[in-house]
Amino acid sequence: MVQAIVFPQEEDAMPRIVAHVDMNAFFAAIEQNAHPEWKNEPIVVCVFSGRTLDSGVVSSASYDARKLGVRAGMPIVQAKQLCAKGHFVPVNHTLYGQISDQIFTRLFAYGDAVEMASIDEAYADLTQKTQGDYAHAERLMREFQQKIQKEFNLGCSVGIAPNKLLAKIASDFQKPNGFTIVKPESVQSFLDPLPVKSLLGIGPKTEQQLVEKNIHTIAQLRACGAGELVALFGAARGQYFFHASRGIDESPLETNYEKQQRSSIWTLQRDTQDWNELRALVREKALELWDETAAQGKFFTQISVVGVDIALKQMTRSTTLNVACVSSEQLFSEVEQLFQSLLSNAPLPLRRVGLRVGGFASPPKQKRLNEFFG
């Protein structure tokens, strides 16, 4: 075969190759490494809410804990019943974030572009580097997988496919330490037998709606007309499902993504409907949020508060400022008003409350950033 000379137009036309990397039981695996004496013992990483000794949920479970039925999202109390001898440790997001950064920094050497999709997932675009050659892509990503295992003692699953949608499903196909390649010619046969829930964006509620229409597999979803899907799910999601069921996804890697909002929500020691009981804590949290965003040079125009009542019903109140918020005092005063409005309409005492800021804009009064520090 003649070696093709690559012109810019042909570069654009080159079929994409995208890899998705998903760390296996990431938080639990890191904790396992931090405690080598727990080898082959169940480890359960927990978010303790602080309300009672064991209130809270499981964030991540090691494979030894999963064998006993422990799952992410499960109440800690329930996990302890399944796994009395397990090691229950609190989440340490800072540590996991640092390790995540180190791991995915290595990935930049393997692709043209990298998107860190979450703390334990990333995409790499391999199109140019491999010149569209799947065998080359496989060699590269197997090397990456082994490198991470060796260097960090952490396993990951890898999917390689023509786009992000399929690469993500492929990395999920075999776990742990899976390696799945979906070439363009086998996209449909790969997708068809999978449950609809395999598609990003189809969760429990949407799955239920589809099951009611007797749609269980992606093949059955593909048999639906675009019009029917749009009628059922609205324009955006309907069209997404139409394309996704065919394995079509042109979305590019988001390589310089910026957060749109920052929020924090916490569980109260005691349920309440009384602003005076919340005031001090809310104030503290508002100041923290101000400090964190100001430190990043971010100035927000949107402020919201959220309450979750004892029936777990959520309520929100929000406001949009004309000019970015200028001080922590202004933030707190806005938050106070929003909470008073929320509380006066809350039918039941609140169990959890939270704050959110977003709508990041230029700094107020056009001050130079460094005038805010020092």
Partner DNA sequence: GACTCCACCGC
Partner DNA sequence: CCTTCTGTGGAGTC
- Which one of 232, 287, 315, 326 is in contact with DNA (CB under 7 A)? 315
Dihedrals φ, ψ of 281, to 5°? -70, -40
Q: Which of 251, 11, 35 is nearest to 130 (CA)?
A: 11
Q: In angstroms, what is the minimal distance from the CB of 318 to DNA?
A: 4
Dihedrals φ, ψ of 6, to 5°? -95, 115
Residue 172 among known ligand-binding residues: no
**Burial, 239: exposed, middle or buried (Cβ in 10 Å; 0-12, 13-18, 19+)?**
middle
| Angle (CA) 244 249 253, round 5° | 135
**Unique residue bearing structure tokens 């993500």:** 168
Peptide bond preceding 363: is omega within 30 degrees of 0, i.e. cis?
Answer: no
Q: Is 365 in the site for DNA (CB under 7 A)?
A: no
Q: Which positions from 79 through 108 interact with DNA, judged by CB under 7 A? A: none
- Which one of 68, 232, 248, 265 is in contact with DNA (CB under 7 A)? 265
Instruction: Please give the Cα distance from 358 to 261 (Å, whole number).
Output: 4
The pair of structure tokens assigned to 254 is: 């988001």
State the binding string over 274-313 for DNA (x if CB under 7 A, else -). Answer: ----------------------------x-x-------xx
Annotation says 329 is catalytic: no
For residue 54, give the 3-state DSSP assignment. Answer: coil
Q: Is 14 in the site for DNA (CB under 7 A)?
A: no
**Unique residue bearing structure tokens 């860190």:** 116
Q: Whose Cβ is closer to DNA: residue 130's or residue 159's?
A: 159
Q: Is 316 in the site for DNA (CB under 7 A)?
A: yes
DSSP 109-178: TTSSEEEEEETTEEEEE-HHHHTT-HHHHHHHHHHHHHHHHHHH---EEEEEESSHHHHHHHHHHSTTT-
- Which one of 34, 226, 235, 369 is in contact with DNA (CB under 7 A)? 235
Range in contact with DNA (rule: CB under 7 A) among 72-80, 144-152, 158-166, 182-190: 72-80
| Cα→Cα distances 318→266, 281, 357, Å | 18, 19, 9
Instruction: Please give the Cα distance from 364 to 14 (Å, whole number).
Output: 46
- Which one of 34, 109, 200, 369 is in contact with DNA (CB under 7 A)? 200
Q: Whose Cβ is closer to DNA: residue 123's or residue 134's?
A: 123
Q: In angstroms, what is the minimal distance from the CB of 120 to DNA?
A: 4
Q: Whose Cβ is closer to DNA: residue 78's or residue 128's?
A: 78
- Which one of 128, 188, 206, 220 is in contact with DNA (CB under 7 A)? 206
- Which one of 31, 32, 44, 59 is in contact with DNA (CB under 7 A)? 59
Q: Which positions from 130 through 169 interact with DNA, judged by CB under 7 A? A: 168
Residue 64 among known ligand-binding residues: no
**Unique residue bearing structure tokens 């799952």:** 71
Catalytic-role residue among 31, 115, 121, 138: 121
Compute CA 330 distance to the chain's CA centroid, rounded to the nearest angstrom. 31
Q: Is 117 in the site for DNA (CB under 7 A)?
A: yes
Q: Is 73 in the site for DNA (CB under 7 A)?
A: yes
Q: Which of 164, 162, 169 is nearest to 132 (CA)?
A: 162
Q: Is 237 in the site for DNA (CB under 7 A)?
A: yes
- Which one of 320, 327, 340, 362 is in contact with DNA (CB under 7 A)? 320
Q: In angstroms, what is the minimal distance from the CB of 347 to DNA?
A: 11
Residues forming the active site: 121
Give the residue ranges of the annotated binding site for Mg(2+): 22, 120
Specify binding-site residues. 22, 120
User: Contact residues for DNA (CB under 7 A)?
Assistant: 22, 25-28, 47, 49-52, 55-57, 59-60, 72-73, 75, 77-78, 117-121, 168, 200-207, 233-237, 259-267, 302, 304, 312-320, 341, 352, 354, 358
